[in-house]
Amino acid sequence: MKIHNTWFAQATYIGIIGAFVFATTRFTLPKLNIFENFMISIQITTQFIHFQVYASTFIFIHLILSIQRLQSLFYTFLDRLKELRDIYQSSLILISQLNQNKPKKVHLKMNQTSFIFLQQFQFKQLSSNLMFTWTIFSRKIINTIT
């Protein structure tokens, strides 16, 4: 992204131009009476305050909009995490059902190491499924951010 397209760079350019204008402008008041000089100085001050309020309002609105965008991204991230949790719970339920539906002869023939190997294999399958869904989810988040 080019830095010249950002609002901060544009505001910096406007500030530099304003500084040049301020440096080259003579702010000598005409030889009027004290009341008119006072009113002119009040008018200059109010215009400067108006410009400051306008610039700070623009920056504040930009900040609020970016915070709202981040908040919506955070809520979509939480929704995706809830979906992953549901997938994980349903896969755990499925694994427990598969373990319950096995014939008892298989359980009797298994020794402790083969049973542990079977559990590790099922866990590896579950973790690979979760990693696959996580990569898809992270790609979607990266695509929505950019």
Q: Convert 7-20 to b/e letters by CB count within 10 Å (16 or more is b).
A: eeeeeeeeeeeeee
Mean pLDDT across the stretch 106-128?
Answer: 51
pLDDT at 28: 62
Q: What is the total count of domains within the chain? A: 1
What is the pLDDT, as a whole number, of residue 109? 46
pLDDT mean over 112-116: 50
Joined together, the tokens standing for residue 9 give 């760079």
Domain membership of residue 64 as a residue range: 3-145
| Tokens describing residue 51 | 């410009």
Angle among Cα 13, 24, 38 to the nearest 5 degrees reads 105
3-state secondary structure the chain: CCHHHCHHHHHHHHHHHHHHHHHHCCCCCCCCCHHHHHHHHHHHHHHHHHHHHHHHHHHHHHHHHHHHHHHHHHHHHHHHHHHHHHHHHHHHHHHHHHHHCCCHHHHHHCCHHHHHHHHHHHHHHHHHHHHHHHHHHHHHHHHHHC
**Residues 62-113 pLDDT 10s:** 888 888 888 888 888 888 888 888 888 777 777 776 666 554 444 444 445 5
List pLDDT tens digits, range 24-64.
Answer: 666 665 566 766 777 777 888 888 888 888 888 888 888 88
Above 80 in pLDDT, residue 23? Answer: no
The Cα 70–Cα 76 span in angstroms is 10
